[in-house]
């Protein structure tokens, strides 16, 4: 019998989450997997601070800052000081960032659609609910450990 870990490892691999150039394939832009996550989170959170996104993604601030600098250079994000605290930088998406994220969204919707075509409506519902349950459980497990957003990390 396969263990849960094995099922997760195989899923991550088959879904392409270990492919460092996956976003170059889907949108034709030089966007790393980390950068696609940053774009997604900036949109999801509105005008988050750099610290908020870095914490949400579990990326140290120095590495995150380099990613943002590169993304500013590509014209994907903007950075501006917070009116409440000038030391805090708030992030926003540019039109180009929204365009690239839209391409990533369409690509992912297509791939998920392909995945779901081989499932019955009941199986799709079970899979979707199961992912929700796993995400909720991960959030509850990570809560007692400030600064730690995932349980699989070795630190």
Residue-range domains of the chain with CATH: 20-109 (1.10.10.10)
Q: Give the C-alpha distances (Å, rounded to integers) separating 95 from 41, 78, 80, 100.
A: 16, 10, 16, 9
* Cα 94 → chain centroid: 18
| pLDDT on residue 1 | 47
pLDDT beyond 60 at 155: no
25 has pLDDT over 70: no
For the segment 132-149, what is each residue's pLDDT rounded down to a tens digit? 999 899 888 876 555 555
**pLDDT tens digits along 49-61:** 999 999 989 899 8
Place of tokens 């994000």: 77
Residue 123 to residue 113: CA distance in whole angstroms: 13
Which whole-number Å values give the CA distances from 28 to 34, 43, 141, 143, 155, in the listed order?
16, 20, 37, 37, 34
Provide the pLDDT for residue 10: 82
């Amino acid at each position: 019998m396969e263990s849960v870990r094995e099922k997760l490892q195989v899923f991550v691999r088959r879904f392409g989450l270990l492919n460092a150039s996956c976003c170059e394939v889907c949108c034709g832009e030089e966007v790393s997997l980390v950068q696609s996550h940053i774009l997604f989170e900036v949109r999801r959170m509105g005008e988050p601070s750099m610290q908020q996104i870095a914490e949400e993604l579990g990326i140290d601030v120095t590495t995150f800052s380099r990613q943002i600098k590169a993304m500013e250079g590509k014209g994907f994000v903007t950075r501006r000081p917070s009116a409440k605290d000038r030391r805090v930088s708030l992030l926003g998406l540019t039109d180009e960032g929204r365009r690239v994220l839209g391409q990533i969204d369409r690509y992912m919707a297509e791939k998920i659609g392909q995945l779901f075509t081989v499932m019955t409506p009941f199986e799709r519902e079970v899979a979707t609910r199961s992912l929700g349950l796993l995400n909720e459980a991960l959030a509850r497990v990570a809560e007692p450990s400030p600064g730690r957003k995932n349980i699989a990390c070795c630190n």
